[in-house]
Structure 1
Amino acid sequence: MPKRLFTATPTKLLNFADCKRKYRYTYLESPRPPKGPPWAHNTVGAIVHEVLADFFGRWPAARRTPDEVVAKMRSSWRSEGFRDERQSLDWRERSTEMVLGYLRDSDPYYEPRGVERTVGFTTERASLRGRIDRIDERPARDGSGGTELAIVDYKTGRRPLTATDARSSLAMALYVLGARRVLHRPCTRVELHHLPTNTVAAADHDDESLARHQKRAESMADDAAAAEARWAEGLTPAEADAAFPPEPSALCGWCDFAKICPQGRREAPTREPWAGLDEPSPVPLDEAG
């Protein structure tokens, strides 16, 4: 019988690599342990992504105007995670200005090759898939007269991004491989569009760099598949804790399950839900978007 492939997204793989205890709580426990309150910075990111998906993927050109963007931001806004109504309204306006600034020079008639497009590919060991914020089709830079794809990922975190962030992103590399497989077009370019600074961190992959990322993803998938197989056999609570140990770090304060993880609480104080908006301390890079 052929070996069953382990199916995963970049987010799932990175969760396993970052903290196996969090992975267990997120993907294996049933019912899932209660999570902490929603994060305000995640609310901002989710709404910004929604509006940009509408702008590029659902609205006709005639609707792609600043007034429509403002109206959509206000109608889509949610107050989840904010300290109070005043902070929520302040961030609604700041986020609206951020999106307007990003779209200021956009061609309303431009149609991306894909918006919120799911792509995937399989290897001998894993089935990997993910959803891309935007796929652009642009003139090929090799002078051939053809076109090539570029993977675009929106980022709304505090930290400015660099080409190293783009090049080292596992998710972005897997998106390149998935887009090639699904859309049958050349693709090497990855871009992180950082809306708070309205900057683009770009990098180009080659076959060697993509092979490294694929090998890394397959190794992570092998380890996660083995851990899940152990879980399926049935484990005592002590065995489960040993098989899925916590990996405490400074980011534990941002974990959704911090309140039920004593090791994480000892490593870092639990953050308030709005702390990611106001403090320059480490906030996780939203790796998959």
Structure 2
Amino acid sequence: METSFEDVAEDAGGSAPSAATVADDAEAAPAPAATATAAAPGPGPAAAPVSAAKAPASLSPSRAGDFMQCPLLYRFRVIDRLPEKPSEAATRGTLVHAVLERLFDAPAAERTAPRARSLVPGQWDRLRESRPEVGELFADDPEGERLARWLGEAERLVERWFTLEDPSRLEPAERELFVEAELDSGLRLRGIIDRVDVAPTGEVRIVDYKTGKAPRPQYAEGALFQMKFYALVVWRLKKVVPRRLQLVYLGSGDVLTYDPVLADLERVERKLLALWEAIRLATETGDWQPRPTKLCGWCNHQAHCPEFGGTPPPYPLPVRVADTGGVEQGRMAAD
């Protein structure tokens, strides 16, 4: 078994960018395919060029999750690229991830809870410098009281991590590792893995930090989808099936683990290909149906959603029309 992960980024096509510069939703917006000029039925000039819509060429766990949750949400984020205001919860998650990544820069004996807490203010300053929009979260907090409580919550999440793992006994092979692999279909899978551990015996563990609470057991499979996605990419790149997938929930102090086998990864690949076919059809037809759930209450795009009386922006891509004159409908195959 090949145990080194130092060349994973090279296998993916280049050196690994930092998480600060590579977003998990790095899919490019769909662009029209090459134009083709239709022949005129009789004498006269040819018809105007007609372009077919083309689906984005890559998929990340977040965007795959968006489409499964609500196809219209996927359209808003990937095709329309509607702006979204930063949230306190998501920004706190980014801050905590940055602290846990930076802590491993210190020697093992110095990876303590007090040191981790001390990193929070500096990492918050760096986050505001790289993403000035997060400063808007506390624009109405002139005295800084709400910001202080928010930073205190981030510190408590960081501290809780020490009750779940002992960083003095860990030497990650990779942190915030950008990975990308292309399937035989041409679909590229990409994402950022929080941490990769490699045991002396060669077993690989993929670790992801979550600042929320662990899901109920009946929803655990959905939570593991992201991890199986990463495991599939690692297998495609290194021909290594990770020994363990581990989700560390700092919000509730739980650790969820799963030991995958090759059949798991093959099932995920089939599911992603079916998902990708559904995205391709929706891109070509412009048929992006909303899927109302309890999560709609947290959606940034209610003003554009028909479920809330809104109107989506004009579809920016050409729509393929079926021979019968109707818009061709797509469907997603279930795994």
Verify: 1:16 aligned to 2:67, yes or no. yes
Alignment equivalent of 2:161, drawn from 102, 112, 118: 102
Alignment equivalent of 1:211, drawn from 250, 259, 266: 266
Could you say which residue in structure 2 is the equivalent of 1:7? 58
Secondary structure (helix, strand or coil) at the match of 1:187 reads coil
5+ residue gaps, structure 1, are: 140-145, 231-239, 267-289
RCO higher in 1 or 2 (8 Å CA, sep ≥ 6)? Answer: 1
TM-score normalised by length of structure 1: 0.73
Amino acid at match of 2:193: I
Could you say if the C-alpha distance between residues 186 and 158 of structure 1 is closer, same or farther in structure 2, counting changes exceeding 3 Å?
Answer: closer
Q: Is the 8 A contact 1:163 1:202 kept in 2?
A: no
Q: Is the 8 A contact 1:138 1:149 kept in 2?
A: yes
Give the fraction of aligned pairs with identical amino acids, expressed as a percent. 28
- For residues 236 and 220 of structure 2, the distance between their equivalents in structure 1, rounded to whole angstroms, comes to 24
Could you say if the C-alpha distance between residues 97 and 176 of structure 1 is closer, same or farther in structure 2, counting changes exceeding 3 Å?
Answer: same
Could you say which residue in structure 2 is the equivalent of 1:278? none
Task: Quote the RMSD (CA, aligned, Å).
Answer: 2.9
Secondary structure (helix, strand or coil) at the match of 1:87 reads helix
Could you say if the C-alpha distance between residues 158 and 187 of structure 1 is closer, same or farther in structure 2, counting changes exceeding 3 Å?
Answer: closer
Alignment equivalent of 2:189, drawn from 108, 128, 140: 128
Alignment equivalent of 1:119, drawn from 164, 179, 202: 179
1:52-63, aligned counterparts within 5 Å?
52-56=100-104, 58-61=105-108
- For residues 12 and 47 of structure 1, the distance between their equivalents in structure 2, rounded to whole angstroms, comes to 21
Could you say if the C-alpha distance between residues 23 and 119 of structure 1 is closer, same or farther in structure 2, counting changes exceeding 3 Å?
Answer: same
5+ residue gaps, structure 2, are: 1-54, 125-133, 311-335
Work out which of the two has the higher radius of gyration on C-alpha atoms and give 1 or 2.
Answer: 2
Verify: 1:151 aligned to 2:206, yes or no. yes
Verify: 1:175 aligned to 2:219, yes or no. no
Could you say if the C-alpha distance between residues 5 and 264 of structure 1 is closer, same or farther in structure 2, counting changes exceeding 3 Å?
Answer: closer
Verify: 1:68 aligned to 2:68, yes or no. no
Q: Is the 8 A contact 2:241 2:262 kept in 1?
A: no
1:20: Cα distance to partner?
A: 1.8
Alignment equivalent of 1:261, drawn from 297, 305, 325: 305
1:24: Cα distance to partner?
A: 1.5
- For residues 109 and 309 of structure 2, the distance between their equivalents in structure 1, rounded to whole angstroms, comes to 51
Could you say which residue in structure 2 is the equivalent of 1:279? none
1:63: Cα distance to partner?
A: 5.4
**46-55 or 105-114: which moved more?**
105-114
